Amino acid sequence: MKLEIEKAIYGGAGLARSDGKAIFVPFTLPGEIVEAQIAEDRGSFANAELAAILDPSPARTEPPCPYFGSCGGCHYQHAQYEQQLQMKRSILQESLERVRIASYPEIAALHGDAFGYRNRIRLHVDRQTSALCYKKRASHQNLPVTECPIAAPVLERALRRLIRPAVALELGNVFEEMELFTNDTQDTTLISFWSSQGKKAATAALQQLWPHIEGFVRGAAVFATKSDNPQESLLAAMGDKALVYSAAGEQYRVSIGSFFQVNRFLVDRLAGLVTAEKTGRIAWDLYAGVGLFARALSHNFEQVVAVESAPSSTLDLRENLSGKSAKVVAAGTLDFLRRAKSHPRPDFVVVDPPRAGLGKEVCSLLGEIRAPQITYVSCDPATLSRDLKALLDSGYHFDSISMVDLFPQTFHLESVVSLSLR
């Protein structure tokens, strides 16, 4: 069918309509006339596959990655970067309006280089061939790759050097996934594997592999694919177990398996956006990770309370806040807030939750605590908008909104929203 694309939607596709039915077509841009075929009719809407571009957008460009379209990782390489930013701002704006947030500040955009930005890439190890793979688009099938233009150059080089030993040692018999992580200067790279084959097999496989990788990898670890006890998930390790990552004028210890912001060009600016000009007596950093925000806040607050539940990140958090006027709470944010009456009220709270957002009870408790200022760092516009509506209803108002493009070439977008009490 012939369709006109109205707009980009969260998830990567373009929206068109046929007889009032929403049709979602990937790899399209607003304003384009395309030919598409229905792939899946879901009654009230349909998913289609792009057959031809009849009238292309001026913002259309040639994707630089040979796997684009087949790989499920990127969604926007066919769009010039300014167009990507515009689509993401529009998606964030529509998410806010969908929950009936009618009045909000102009959405600023924070962005950096559109390629080579990822300090971390995660791949699958094919069970039959031991090839290193991403997943095919809309599929559980593996797609062997030898390059990834959105990865830091050192990670691309490491990927290429791993291909031959992975096949020769038949790593697919032991490992299901692997992850490469590098620091800000790209002079230290760590590698993680995940295995369901147990400690003995994992240790033997890592010992076999180590002579092939120790020239370009400083440390390696194997984690259990499924583990009821996170403290016992480490099956084997060789070399360094952590690296030092410099960001926003600070140095952070980041262990293998710990979370750290993925865009190496925007870490400094993100930290500055969240923490700059925040001062007071007490600050809370909820979902603190390894302490990217907490360490910066410790310079301008008498005390910082950093709350984190992941065991690996908590160890790094303690190290990164050592000697600072800070307290580390190894707990989930909800459990911490339920006991918050025993803590002095904070002057400032930063929240950086996972994709599921804060949720009803956390928003309710924050509304009761009534910190004068809250900054919300979000990786999902839908859950952000839902939570913002609850916080606004409890008495907060907007100070600023920024769309931070931590994930160029993909539909994913980060947002930073500053709120204060009326």
Q: What is the mean pLDDT of residues 106-133?
A: 98
* Residues in a beta bridge with 47: 24, 40
pLDDT digits (tens, 9 = 90+) for 47-79: 999 999 999 999 999 999 999 999 999 999 999
Helix (H) or strand (E) holding 362: helix 360-369
**Spatial separation of the C-alpha atoms in residues 99 and 309, rounded to whole Å:** 30
Q: Say how many domains are in the chain.
A: 3
**Is 81 domain-assigned?**
no
Predicted pLDDT of residue 343: 86
Q: What is the CA radius of gyration of the chain?
A: 23
Say whether pLDDT at 226 is over 90: no
Predicted pLDDT of residue 303: 97
Find the domain containing 11 and state its range.
Answer: 2-60
Examine the domain organization and report whether 241 and 274 are in the same domain.
Answer: no
Examine the domain organization and report whether 147 and 238 are in the same domain.
Answer: yes
Examine the domain organization and report whether 46 and 169 are in the same domain.
Answer: no
**Is 95 domain-assigned?**
no
Examine the domain organization and report whether 130 and 234 are in the same domain.
Answer: yes
**Is 196 domain-assigned?**
yes
Examine the domain organization and report whether 159 and 308 are in the same domain.
Answer: no
Examine the domain organization and report whether 170 and 269 are in the same domain.
Answer: no
List the CATH number of the domain containing 10.
Answer: 2.40.50.140
**Is 305 domain-assigned?**
yes
**Is 256 domain-assigned?**
no
**Is 92 domain-assigned?**
no
Predicted pLDDT of residue 422: 82
Q: Percentage of residues in the chain with pLDDT exceeding 70?
A: 99
pLDDT digits (tens, 9 = 90+) for 306-337: 999 999 999 999 999 999 999 999 999 999 99
Predicted pLDDT of residue 230: 64
Examine the domain organization and report whether 301 and 196 are in the same domain.
Answer: no
How many Å from the N-terminal Cα to the C-terminal Cα in the chain?
A: 52
**Is 79 domain-assigned?**
no
Supply the pTM of this predicted model: 0.95
Say whether pLDDT at 231 is over 80: no
Residue 143 in tokens: 């797609």
Output the CA angle 259-263-264, nearest 5 degrees.
100
Examine the domain organization and report whether 317 and 214 are in the same domain.
Answer: no
**Considering the chain, what is the average pLDDT of its residues?**
96
**Spatial separation of the C-alpha atoms in residues 255 and 252, rounded to whole Å:** 10
Residue that is last in its domain, among 219, 245, 271: 245
* Residues in a beta bridge with 52: 35
Predicted pLDDT of residue 65: 98
pLDDT digits (tens, 9 = 90+) for 377-392: 999 999 999 999 999 9
Examine the domain organization and report whether 380 and 412 are in the same domain.
Answer: yes
Q: What is the mean pLDDT of residues 231-235?
A: 83
Examine the domain organization and report whether 275 and 412 are in the same domain.
Answer: yes
Tell me, what amino acid is at 382?
A
**Spatial separation of the C-alpha atoms in residues 181 and 154, rounded to whole Å:** 10
Tell me, what amino acid is at 371?
A
Examine the domain organization and report whether 229 and 341 are in the same domain.
Answer: no
Q: What is the mean pLDDT of residues 215-223?
A: 96
**Is 78 domain-assigned?**
no
Residue 329 in tokens: 């709470």
Predicted pLDDT of residue 232: 73
List the CATH number of the domain containing 136.
Answer: 2.40.50.1070
Examine the domain organization and report whether 195 and 314 are in the same domain.
Answer: no
139 by Cβ neighbours in 10 Å (0-12 / 13-18 / 19+) ranks as exposed
**Spatial separation of the C-alpha atoms in residues 144 and 133, rounded to whole Å:** 4
pLDDT digits (tens, 9 = 90+) for 170-196: 999 999 999 999 999 999 999 999 999
Q: What are phi and psi of 421, to 5 degrees?
A: -70, 145
Say whether pLDDT at 412 is over 70: yes
Predicted pLDDT of residue 393: 96
Output the CA angle 213-145-178, nearest 5 degrees.
45
Say whether pLDDT at 411 is over 80: yes
Predicted pLDDT of residue 228: 67
Residue that is last in its domain, among 245, 279, 295: 245
Say whether pLDDT at 229 is over 70: no
**Spatial separation of the C-alpha atoms in residues 290 and 128, rounded to whole Å:** 37
